[in-house]
Amino acid sequence: MDRPPILNVEGVLLICLMGDLHDRVLSHLFHDLSSVMSSRRPLGVVLNIAGVTMIDGFIAHRLEELSRLSLSLGAPLVIVGMNAAAAATLVEMGLRLGDIHTARDFERGLAWLKARTREPATS
Amino acid sequence: MDDNHRALLVEVLDIEPAELLDRWLDVQSGHELAIERPRGDAPLRAQGRVIVEALRAALVTNDSVQWQDLYSLLERVAHRHAHGGATFEQTGLFLTAFKRPLFERAAVKLPPGSPLLVELLWSITVLLDDLVLRSTRTFMTERDMVIVRQRADLEELSSPVLKLWDDIIVMPLVGTLDSRRAQVVMETLLAAVEHHGASVAILDITGVQTVDTQVAQNLFRTAAAARLMGTDCIVSGIGPQIAQTIVELGIDFGNLKTRSSLSDAIRSAFSTVGLKVARTEQ
């Protein structure tokens, strides 16, 4: 899986990452996401990492970059489905990913994005 | 122990072997640390007999296998004493009491004032002290194993995760949160988050006696890991005492959500997942 597909679901981009994440996969994703986002103008991005076995410092850094990229293109990014082992490892390494929003699963990530994009309109 | 002493000691053991055991048991009886004999002298006498036999065999051959046999025999004896409720002091006394009949026989064997006598007595003491230490070690190993088992039981028992509502789990913590337990707490909570798919996890520390910097750090880490998994973590049950300590120690709870009572935490959790409790119309 060199190029993870970027799906468009009702104006929200959905990306599923699986297995071992290589540098190549993430840099492809970085480029693909930026071009898709500028053409599609989505409400937000849901990055599902439920299938990712291991997250190291490098991957964590890449995830933060993706989040910043998404925000800079005007849509929030939410990471969903991180497993217990990966979360424990990240905290062990002192990485909190403080700027990234997280949700338990795709549904809740989507609900958060919708609530968030609705807010400015109502207020 | 040199060959000469060993040969002498074998001769000492062979002096009136039948009375040797009697004397050994006599010396102990009446002592406050004597092993209780609810079933008479027979079991202790039998143990004494096999120990004397094994000791004699080891002294005669001076073969490492024979010595090993003696040591494992002592382990079994200590083991049996431990299961019978005896303490290691009692087993220790049981073995050291054996010095007395040996000393008496050594004094018969060698003329008074002989320098060899002192050497022999010293050899006997060294030998028996070594045996006592070995039996004590057996006791300690057993006790350590019991402690390890109990600790595992305690860790399991004291870290339950309860599903409070759809999407809300609670983990009441009781006792001391050392780094070892904090690790268990974190793993258990994260596994529960994964299993239940909870949106909110409440860590209730009402039953935690003291909160120091270390404990606060551990709570932070657990909350941070839960957040990475997309779960809101609330720490509840922070009483006035603990609140004061936290402030005095200068611990910054930062963006960790804290509530003083579990009910406040539940209210907060309900509002996070969009639930509302309402009184029914009577």
DSSP-based helix, strand, coil % in chain B, nearest 5: 65, 10, 25
- Residue B53 φ/ψ, nearest 5 degrees: -65, -45
pLDDT on residue A122? 43
The region of weakest confidence among A13-27, B64-78, B80-94, B120-134 is: B80-94
Q: Write the pLDDT tens digit of every residue in B44-55.
A: 888 899 999 999
* Residue A121 pLDDT greater than 70, yes or no: no
Q: What is the pLDDT of residue A45?
A: 95
3-class SS string, A35-71:
HHHHHHCCCEEEEEEEEECCCCHHHHHHHHHHHHHHH
Q: Is the pLDDT of residue B263 over 90?
A: yes
Measured distance CA(B282)–CA(A13) in Å, rounded: 49
What share of chain A in percent tops pLDDT 90? 64
CB contact under 8 A, B228 and A91: yes
Q: Which of A13, A20, A61 is nearest to A1 (CA)?
A: A20
Contacts of B153 (CB under 8 A, 6+ apart): none
* Cα dihedral B105→B107→B110→B115 (10° resolution): 130
Size of interface A-B (CB pairs under 8 A): 56
- What band does A123 get if pLDDT is binned at 50, 70 and 90? very low
Q: What count of other Cβ atoms lies within 10 Å of the Cβ of residue B154?
A: 14
Nearest to B190 among A79, A84, A102 (CB): A84
Place of tokens 């062990």: A92
pLDDT digits (tens, 9 = 90+) for B187-239: 999 999 999 989 999 999 998 888 888 888 888 889 999 999 999 999 999 98
Cβ contact A88–B225 (<8 Å)? yes
Q: Which of B88, B107, B110 is nearest to B33 (CA)?
A: B88
Are B256 and B150 in contact by the 8 Å Cβ rule? The answer is: no
Q: Do B224 and A91 touch (CB under 8 A)?
A: yes
Q: Model confidence over A57-76: pLDDT tens digits?
A: 999 999 999 999 999 998 99
Tell me how crowded residue B135 is: count the other CB atoms within 10 A of its CB: 21
Distances (CA, A) of B201 to B121, B169, B266: 69, 5, 10
Q: Which helix (H) or strand (E) holds A7?
A: strand A6-9
pTM of the model: 0.64
Under the banding of pLDDT at 50, 70 and 90, the label for residue B260 is very high
Q: What is the mean pLDDT of chain A?
A: 89
The closest of B28, B43, B144, B146 to B90, measured between CA atoms, is B28
Pick from B191, B221, B231: which is nearest to A91 by CB? B221
How far apart, in whole angstroms, are the C-alpha atoms of residue B150 and residue B200? Answer: 31
Residue A77 contacts residue A70 (beta carbons within 8 Å): yes
Return d(Cα A29, Cα A27) in angstroms, integer: 5
Q: Given the structure tokens 């913590």, which residue do they identify?
A: B173
What the block records as the tokens of A55 is 């997250």
- Average pLDDT score over residue span A25-44: 92
Q: DSSP assignment of B46-85, as one string?
A: HHHHHHHHHHHHHHHH--HHHHHHHHHHHHHHHHHHHHTT
The residues spanned by each domain of chain A are: 6-122
DSSP class of residue A19 equals E
Q: Mutation test of the interface with chain A: which of B228, B229, B255, choosing the one with the most A Cβ atoms within 10 A? A: B228
How much is the pLDDT for B52? Answer: 92
Domains and CATH numbers, chain B: 3-154 (1.10.490), 162-273 (3.30.750.24)
Which residues does chain B have within 8 Å of residue A104's beta carbon, measured at their own beta carbons? 193, 197-199, 229-231
pLDDT at B1 over 80: no
Q: Per-residue pLDDT for B245 more than 70?
A: yes
Chain A residue whose CA is closest to B227? A102
The question of ipTM being above 0.90 is answered as: no
pLDDT tens-digit series, residues B148-197: 988 888 777 778 899 999 999 999 998 888 888 888 899 999 999 999 98
Secondary structure class of A99 (helix, strand, coil): coil
Confidence check: pLDDT of B99 > 80: yes
For residues B91 and B98, what is the distance between their CA atoms, to the nearest angstrom? 11
Position B86 scores a pLDDT of: 83
Range A6-122 has CATH code 3.30.70.1140: no
Is B129 a residue whose pLDDT tops 90? yes
Q: How confident is the model at residue A120 (pLDDT cuts 50, 70, 90)?
A: low
